[in-house]
Structure 1
Amino acid sequence: MALSSASTVDEIIAHLRTLASDENRAGMARFGIATDRALGIPNAVINPIARLIKRDHDRALALWATGIREARILATATDEPAKVTRSQIDAMAAEFDSWEIVDHAAHLICAAKLAQETIPAYAADEREFVRRTAFSTIATAAVHLKKEPDETFIAWLRLVDTHASDDRNFVRKAVNWALRQVGKRSPALHLPALELAEKLAASSDKTARWIGKDAVRELTDPKIVERLNAKR
């Protein structure tokens, strides 16, 4: 049957299983995506399904509860942000097992207006994927939360500074991503982000130095600088 906003969890899962691909699962594993509960369906196929089934909070909770990668991506895409609570996000975060699901969840956190309370808490959390969530959410917020004041991002840059020495792969990449995205958000944020990047680039810590050098390279790119100058 064709999927629609009236489709049940069982119908959605049954449809997803018809799209499963062992070949795609193997490809996902090469990109560091957890595949033990994956069907191997690319996001380019999942996204149109999300648009078909539309938003439903209770169904999103049930999709998440299946544990299936594709169902969880649909859960983050089709939940109703106004109904999402901090306790729900905390419960989800406790089960994060892949950078990919973290980055999908960051969009839901921003849409649910929970970024300001989750980011400091998750940055302080020692669990790798929970800490990644903090910085993935900063990067996402820098692009999508258009009305958030610059002061919010200045505060989040301090978290970047604090955790720039975390050498775990999925954390350091997210810290770097957050720094670059904040620096590209606005002319007012470009300078403090670049100054932090230069500070980290000169660090004696290998991880902080990598984060800083990579961010300096992007934030001094002539095209980036020109675009920001045009906004002044």
Structure 2
Amino acid sequence: MTYSEIIDALYDLKDEEKVIFKEKKFGIKSNNSLGIYHKDLKGIAKNIGQDNKLALQLFDSGIYEGRILCSKIFNPKDITEPLMEKWVKSFENWEICDSFSMGLFSKSRFATTKILEWTERAPEFEKRAGFTIIASYCMADKTSDNELFEHFFPILKREANDDRLYVKKAVNWALRNIGKRNIDLNKKAIQVANDILKYDSKSAKWIAKNALTELQKEGIRMSDYPRALYRPPLHTK
């Protein structure tokens, strides 16, 4: 598909009622939105395939859905820090923040660098991006040992008092996903949640209680990463 064909396809799906619905139902406030559901954008992205040049053109179109498409067709291996900084500063809601953070940033070689940087940022969705990368990186990185993920616990504890909706939800998400990586990190995440539970703020108590409900659930599913340690191959005679 050419750039013009993609733009035409987006405008063919334009639905102003969906713009209103997404804001009321999901809190997705977006500028220059055509009102296209994420699942439909995934279908378009699948037809395009990876194409960095088109991705950059779509982002620069200024069309909200064009920017989400950018996050889906840009090759994570080719991302640069200047591009990441340009994109993160444009985030205006959780949907586009998570699309970039999960689909691109967590799979890039700068993932851990941006976790450390962005979780200290003041803007709500720049900070959320840092925690969303943590949540996704737990699944994207299948080989790192527990020590790497334990380094994120002090960050979660430091920011647990941030009462902004999309920050506290991301802190909670990151804590839960670390705790579902393997049984040892589960135990440590539960301990961290109990530490956060002692904080006075409402946001911290919500983060901790919600995380404990899931992390202590009977039959919780673990990823068992790294598999070499937590799910070693069976040896047969």
The two structures share one fold, judged by TM-score above 0.5:
yes
Identity among equivalent positions (%) equals 33
Q: Which amino acid aligns with 1:84?
A: I
* Equivalent position of 1:18 in the other structure: 12
1:97 equivalenced with 2:92 (yes/no): yes
CA deviations 1:187-219 (Å, max 9, x no partner) are: 121111110111112221221111111101110
Secondary structure, counterpart of 1:34 in structure 2: coil
RMSD value over aligned CA atoms? 1.6
Residue 46 of structure 1, CA deviation: 0.9
In the alignment, the residues of structure 2 paired with residue 177 and residue 226 of structure 1 have an alpha-carbon distance, to the nearest angstrom, of 15
Superposition TM-score, scaled by structure 1 size:
0.92
2:30–2:92 CA contact under 8 A, matched in 1? no
Deviation at 1:59, TM superposition (A): 1.3
SS of structure 1 residue aligned to 2:35: coil
The offset of 1:66, in angstroms, is 1.4
- Name the structure 2 match of 1:146: 142
CA shift, 1:124, in A, is 1.0
What is the alpha-carbon distance in structure 1 between the residues aligned to residue 75 and residue 108 of structure 2?
8
| Shift in CA distance, 148/29, structure 1 to aligned 2, threshold 3 Å | same
Tell me by how many angstroms 1:35 deviates: 3.0
1:199 matched residue in structure 2: 195
SS at match of 1:91: helix
Residue 185 of structure 1, aligned match among 176, 181, 188: 181
Q: Is the 1:219–1:225 contact (alpha carbons within 8 Å) kept by the matching residues of 2? A: no
User: 8-17 vs 117-126, which deviates more?
Assistant: 8-17
Aligned equivalents of 1:226, 1:18: Cα separation in 2: 42
Letter in 2 for 1:174: A
Q: Is the aligned partner of 1:123 residue 2:119?
A: yes
Gaps of 5+ in 1: 1-6
> TM-score scaled to structure 2, two decimals?
0.90
Question: Matches of 2:191 and 2:86 in 1, distance apart?
Answer: 36
1:41 corresponds to 2:20: no
Q: Residue type matched to 1:73 in 2?
A: I
Amino acid at match of 1:134: G
Name 2:70's counterpart in structure 1. 75
Q: Report the Cα distance in structure 2 between the residues aligned to 1:73 and 1:227, rounded to whole angstroms.
A: 28
Aligned counterpart, 2:216: 220
- In the comparison of the two structures, how many residue pairs are matched? 224
Hey, which of these two has a bigger chunk of helix by percent?
A: 1
Task: Name stretches of at least 5 consecutive residues in structure 2 with no aligned partner.
Answer: 225-229, 232-237
Mapped to 2, the partners of 1:206 and 1:69 lie a distance apart of 33
The aligned counterpart of 2:158 is 162
State the 1:8 CA deviation: 2.1
Q: Secondary structure at the match of 1:124?
A: coil
